[in-house]
Amino acid sequence: MQPKVKRGVPCEERPGSTALRQPDWDGIRIFLEVARRGSFRSASEHLGHSINVLRRRIQELEEQLGTVLMTRHVDGIRLTPEGSKILVSAERMEVAAFDLTRTRDQAVPLLSGEVKIAVTEGLGTFWLAPRLVEFQRGYPRLIVDLNCGMRSADVLRMEADASVQLTQPTAPDLKVVKLGRLHSMPYASRSYIDTYGAPKRFEEIFQHRIVLQMAEQTTTKQVFEQLAGGVPQEGFVAMRTNVSSAHYWAIAKGAGIGWLPTYASAIGARIVPLDLDLRFSFDIWLTYHPEAKRIPRIRRSIEWIVESFDARHFPWFRDEFIHPKDLPQEYKGQPLVNWFEGFAGAS
């Protein structure tokens, strides 16, 4: 029998007790992120918390578990043998937590709540965002978290419920659907052409200035090396940027010639296509967890995404290239939202 002084006192609060506290899921989640990214700095940038906060949470987790999980080095962190073993269990906890969330969401039949959609910055800003207005009018209780960026979202870890990207996912546990094809070609602004003229042949482009978009899910670096290998960028490349919106405005304002998707012409971009036979195409992929489609709000959002890229209605997403000058004859639908209508003097 226990002495009276210890009766009713939790084990971890008894003097001399070595009992450990149950670790909380949020601490486990932070441990997973730091371990996967290899450093507190990288995890801090991804999670949006300061490095000191993450270090404190890891220290608290180590105290809860009674062991050291990782050690710090100049180039990042190293998991201890104990940390590596706990990482395996933490990954199983993560899978179970995601399953729990999906099961909860399946029990809520109304088209309400949050849907997280990850999409490349250009397609998100210029194509999906303007179309969201009409979609949300039909489902006013739906909150769409549209994350526009060039880094592919990890759908398995629920960074997004659905992801639209230009690189084909390879994870075997994901549902992958080809939405269409993105065709790009060189464009210039009217002001640039009026000032410097327009190249008529590929060889003439080296007498001009170009702008480049350098980011994940783009092949700009490889294409540049293929087309202009050995050509110094100084005096030839006017600007490099990492996002599609800045890339477009650099072209529209006359900084130089750049490659843009042909649907830019369909939505009223104030630029002129250049016939230089320098066209590139990228397949557009939709990916989501198979279980996610059982959740009504996510299923309807996925259906809306597929509809938004239907090449039968939007010919610029067909597999075959259609020149921007021919798009008015090919497109038979309602007038599109002109994303650029509020921007005066773009060219």
Residue 215 has pLDDT above 80, yes or no: no
CA distances from 330 to 28, 189, 226, 271 (A): 53, 24, 32, 20
Q: In the structure encoding, which two tokens stand for residue 152, read together?
A: 């592919």
Residue 190 has a pLDDT of 95
- Mean pLDDT calculated for residue range 65-89: 90
Residue 156 has pLDDT above 80, yes or no: no
The three-class DSSP label of residue 104 is helix
Share of the chain above pLDDT 90, in %: 44
Residue 98 has pLDDT above 90, yes or no: no
The predicted-structure confidence for 15-35, as pLDDT tens digits, reads as follows 444 456 777 888 898 999 999
Residue 111 has pLDDT above 70, yes or no: yes
The closest alpha carbon to 154, from 102, 190, 116, 106, belongs to: 116
- Mean pLDDT calculated for residue range 82-105: 81
Residue 234 burial (C-beta neighbours within 10 Å; 0-12, 13-18, 19+): exposed
| Reported pTM | 0.67
Residue 122 burial (C-beta neighbours within 10 Å; 0-12, 13-18, 19+): buried
Residue 3 has a pLDDT of 47
Does 281 or 103 have the greater pLDDT score?
281
How wide is the angle at C-alpha 274 spanned by C-alphas 272 and 278, nearest 5°? 140
- Mean pLDDT calculated for residue range 177-194: 95
Does 336 or 28 have the greater pLDDT score?
28
Work out the pLDDT band at 169, boundaries 50, 70, 90: confident
Q: What share of the chain is helix, strand, coil (3-state, %, to 5)?
A: 45, 20, 40
Question: H helices within 66-116, ranges in order?
Answer: 81-106
Residue 107 has pLDDT above 60, yes or no: no
Residue 285 has pLDDT above 90, yes or no: yes
Cβ within 8 Å of residue 91, ≥6 positions away: 32
Share of the chain above pLDDT 70, in %: 86
